[in-house]
Structure formats: C-alpha cells, structure tokens
C-alpha cells in the first residue's frame, strides 16, 4: 500500500482491517461516538481514533461535533464505487466464461480435436 493516493485503494485498504470492517458494520445500524465504537475492542481509544481517521480519509465515514463528542456517520455512497468496480470485472469474467463454454461445446461437436493447449490463451495479451 505504498501508493494509495487513489480513492479505491484507500477504500479497499480501509476495509482490509477486520476491526474497521466491524466498525462499518456497526455504523450501518446507526451513528456512534468514538467511545461507543471503541467499547467492544480490546485496544486503546487512540487506536480506535486512528482507525476512524483511516475510514474518514477513505470517505467511508464523516465525523461531526456534539460538545466533547465526535459522532461518526457512515457514508454509504462509497459502497456504490466499490460495487461498480467489482461488478465490472465480475461481469466481464463471467461473460468470458460463457463464451468459453460455447467454444468448448462447439469443439465437442466437431470430429478433429486439432490439439488446443489452452483455449483461454487467445484472449490474453
């Protein structure tokens, strides 16, 4: 993660930590203060504060003010960005798989096998 200036790297990087994912999961149910978020974990409040900074810089949460408290709010919109990235390549891969299936089915119907090492090679490069 040496170069994570881009948005997606920050988002994926933020969610690569189980504690942070758990925080996101809990924040989906409702806003919470830093202290409330920290309670279940066996780490210092400062560590939790750091985690929140990572989530904030990734755009996953927003921190406001309420007296001494800093209520944390989940920004659900970033999920769209991730979903879009994932779905793009998921669909692409699935489509390729379907095409491969068609090719294989066509080959089975032929008489000469023609010695093909790996049908997928043609799509590489």
Partner DNA sequence: CGTTTACTCAACCTCATGGTTGAGCAAGAC
Partner DNA sequence: GTCTTGCTCAACCATGAGGTTGAGTAAACG
- Report residue 76: phi and psi, to 5°: -70, -15
Per-residue burial over 23-33, b if 16 or more Cβ lie within 10 Å, else e, is: bbeebeeeebe
Kindly tell me which of 70 and 100 has the beta carbon lying closer to DNA. Answer: 70
Cα distance between residue 23 and residue 32, in whole Å:
10
Cα distance between residue 41 and residue 19, in whole Å:
8
Binding-site partner at residue 47 among a copy of itself, DNA, none, CB < 5 to 8 Å by type: DNA
The only residue of 54, 90, 111, 113 in contact with a copy of itself, by rule CB under 8 A: 90
Cα distance between residue 85 and residue 73, in whole Å:
24
Kindly tell me which of 97 and 107 has the beta carbon lying closer to a copy of itself. Answer: 97
Kindly tell me which of 26 and 109 has the beta carbon lying closer to a copy of itself. Answer: 26
In whole angstroms, the minimum distance from the beta carbon of 68 to a copy of itself comes to 13
Alpha-carbon separation of residue 23 from 14, 114, 125 (angstroms): 11, 56, 41
In whole angstroms, the minimum distance from the beta carbon of 105 to a copy of itself comes to 19
123 forms part of the interface with a copy of itself (CB under 8 A): yes
Cα distance between residue 20 and residue 14, in whole Å:
7
Kindly tell me which of 31 and 49 has the beta carbon lying closer to a copy of itself. Answer: 31
Binding site for a copy of itself (CB under 8 A): 1, 3-4, 6, 8-9, 12-13, 15-18, 21, 24-25, 27-33, 36, 64, 66, 71, 73-74, 76, 79-80, 82-83, 85-90, 92-94, 96-97, 117-118, 120-125
């Amino acid at each position: 993660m040496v170069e994570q200036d881009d948005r997606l790297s920050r988002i994926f990087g933020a969610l690569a930590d189980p504690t942070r994912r758990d925080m996101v999961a809990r924040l989906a149910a409702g806003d919470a203060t830093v202290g409330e978020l920290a309670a279940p974990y066996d780490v210092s409040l400062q560590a939790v504060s750091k985690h929140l900074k990572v989530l904030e810089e990734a755009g996953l949460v927003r921190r406001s003010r309420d007296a001494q408290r800093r209520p944390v709010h989940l920004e659900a919109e970033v999920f769209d960005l991730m979903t879009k990235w994932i779905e793009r390549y998921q669909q692409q891969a699935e489509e390729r798989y379907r095409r491969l299936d068609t090719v294989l089915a066509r080959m089975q119907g032929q008489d000469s096998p023609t010695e093909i090492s790996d049908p997928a090679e043609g799509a590489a490069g």
